[in-house]
Chain A
């Protein structure tokens, strides 16, 4: 029953998204929703390692940017089609996640978090000095010609992002409800006990970092065509890494739909502020919301709802 409801919603969302591209003619809507959906994929990806497994990653922007620059480099060198670029970014960032996991997962807690941050800084330095992709000065990227069945390229990118967001969510949902997800939850709660209860902790953690890396890379792959000018400052933007942490925290990290709720809420607020005031406010907004949630509702919106339901249940019973 539950499966049907989820996939039914997926179908409705995809159809509505497609109808949206045919009905709305102001490109602004697509720019806005693209950003929100990009944040959603990042949040869902972060949560696989951060929420399900309990390892806090501060280096999300690094994975995102490697996805971005995979597109920049392969597009410039070979002019490959978008689906191939997506795949390449997914594979490269998945491998990067695997390698980073292998090297850093022995570190616990705050040390792991610092290692991820350092990884992102190293990657940024490399890109800054890589002339082929524009180095620190950045590079222009031309949108490919033709937009498939859409009126323009931004509609295509929007629809692509919607499909990717749904796919990322489905993957995260699958992981959390499967045996893998149970193993990850055991690792998050107590790694030593998990290992002694037969959970192959290293293998599951590597699955977790690989899935996270791949999804973040895929989130970054279409970005060059979206902005058409890429430099390390935009690809490694602080707000990308901070949002990837804040969205799950605000929504709730324990369940697959937590980061989705957080991403939609925070994304909508940030985009509204960008339009009405300025994008400069985005970091401030996420900062304030993060502090509020961490202090007042550490389990996020999902936790608040669960507590409310429990209270109501207790009052009735």
Chain B
């Protein structure tokens, strides 16, 4: 249990009368790579919102590194080391790409980062994801695809121990997907646990050590990519019998 990063127990989230997540359990060990998949509207983003603190769950608990964070606001969770990207990009539009990365460096990672060379650190992160040439562009005028890359870069700048990437690769070319996977692998080797939400099956299957499948707010499978792919319930959910 010592190296359990995330432990979500019986998590339920309702929107009015609609149950978006129904008593879901999810755990993650240090440095693990988890794929979170499921049909549209199955509750993946809602799950991430509850883990990162953007939404508060109605029932159940969220524990991070052994601490109950269920009622902590998002910024405290970010300080503890939970970082996320947004499926619908949310850049800080008045800022350049580089300045966007300075925000998590100056806030989420403040206790972990060197306080001096903030923009140099931001630049290094942009270089690792081959985005440095965009550093001084206005983030509000990037293309959708570039905004996704910025989402990932900004989450990396929070220096997380748990990174949640919500469809960071949608719209990328297959070579770009490979590049991002490579970055996430390197990051993971440094001990960062990763939850990857992705519709690109090839990417999830290749990246994940374990896969969790949500369908209509319920967890219907949890296992190795191979097991999950041959799970009849998963097939049903996806093919919609």
- Which of A76-84, A178-186, A282-290 lies at the binding interface? A178-186
Binds A, one of B24-32, B36-44, B71-79, B179-187: B71-79
Q: Check B92 against A198 for contact (C-beta < 8 Å).
A: no
Docked pose: A254 CA to B138 CA in angstroms: 15
Interface positions of A from 162 to 196, Cβ below 8 Å from B: 179, 182-183, 185-186, 188-190, 192-196
Q: Considering residues A189, A190, A192, A201, which has the most beta carbons from chain B within 10 angstroms of its beta carbon?
A: A189
Q: Are A195 and B93 in contact (CB under 8 A)?
A: no
Minimum CB distance partner of A188 in chain B: B94
Is B52 on the interface with A (CB-CB < 8 A)?
yes
Residues of A within 8 A of B109 (CB): 198
Q: Is B95 an interface residue (CB 8 A)?
A: yes
Contact: A193 with B94, CB < 8 Å? no
Tell me if A134 is interfacial: C-beta within 8 Å of chain B.
no
B53 at the interface (CB under 8 A from A): yes
Q: Assess the B75–A254 pair: CB atoms within 8 A.
A: no
Shortest Cβ distance from residue A312 to the other chain B in the assembled complex, whole angstroms: 18
Please report the total number of A residues contacting B with Cβ < 8 Å. 20
Q: Which of A179, A188, A193, A196 has the most CB of B within 10 A?
A: A196
Which chain A residue has the least Cβ–Cβ distance from B109?
A198
- For the complex, is A1 an interface residue (Cβ under 8 Å from B)? no
Residues of A within 8 A of B54 (CB): 192, 195-196
Bound together, the chains give a CA A188 to CA B103 distance in angstroms of 13
| Among candidates B73, B78, B94, B104, residue contacting A185 with C-beta atoms closer than 8 Å | B94
Are B94 and A198 in contact, with the CB atoms below 8 A? no
Known: A196-B84, A197-B108, A199-B107. A186 touches B92 (CB 8 A): yes
Q: Which of chain A's residues have a CB closer than 8 A to the CB of B73? A: 195, 200, 202
Q: Which residues of A contact B104 (CB under 8 A)?
A: 197-198
Interface check B136, CB cutoff 8 A = no
Given the complex, which residues of A lie within 8 Å of B94, measured CB to CB?
185, 188-189, 254
B56 touches A (CB below 8 Å): no
Please pick, from B52, B95, B102, B110, the residue contacting A196 in the complex, using a CB distance under 8 A: B52
Pick from B79, B90, B106: contact of A179, CB below 8 A.
B106
Contact between chains at A197 and B91 (CB < 8 Å): no
Do residues B74 and A196 form an inter-chain contact, with CB atoms below 8 A? yes
For B95, list chain A residues within 8 Å (CB).
185-186, 189
Look across to chain B and name the residue whose beta carbon is closest to the beta carbon of A193: B90
Complexed CA–CA distance, A200 and B104 (Å): 11
Residues of B within 8 A of A192 (CB): 54, 86, 90
Considering residues B78, B91, B108, which has the most beta carbons from chain A within 10 angstroms of its beta carbon? B78
Question: Using Cβ atoms and an 8 Å threshold, which residues of chain A touch B90?
Answer: 190, 192-193
A54 to B: closest C-beta gap in Å: 10
Q: Which residues of A does B touch, CB under 8 Å?
A: 179, 182-183, 185-186, 188-190, 192-202, 254
Q: List 20 A-B contacts (CB under 8 A).
A: A182-B106, A183-B107, A186-B103, A189-B91, A190-B90, A192-B86, A193-B86, A194-B92, A195-B54, A195-B73, A195-B78, A196-B54, A197-B78, A197-B103, A198-B75, A199-B107, A200-B73, A200-B75, A200-B107, A202-B73
Closest CB pairs A-B (n = 10): A198-B108, A198-B107, A198-B78, A193-B90, A189-B92, A197-B104, A195-B74, A190-B90, A197-B103, A186-B103
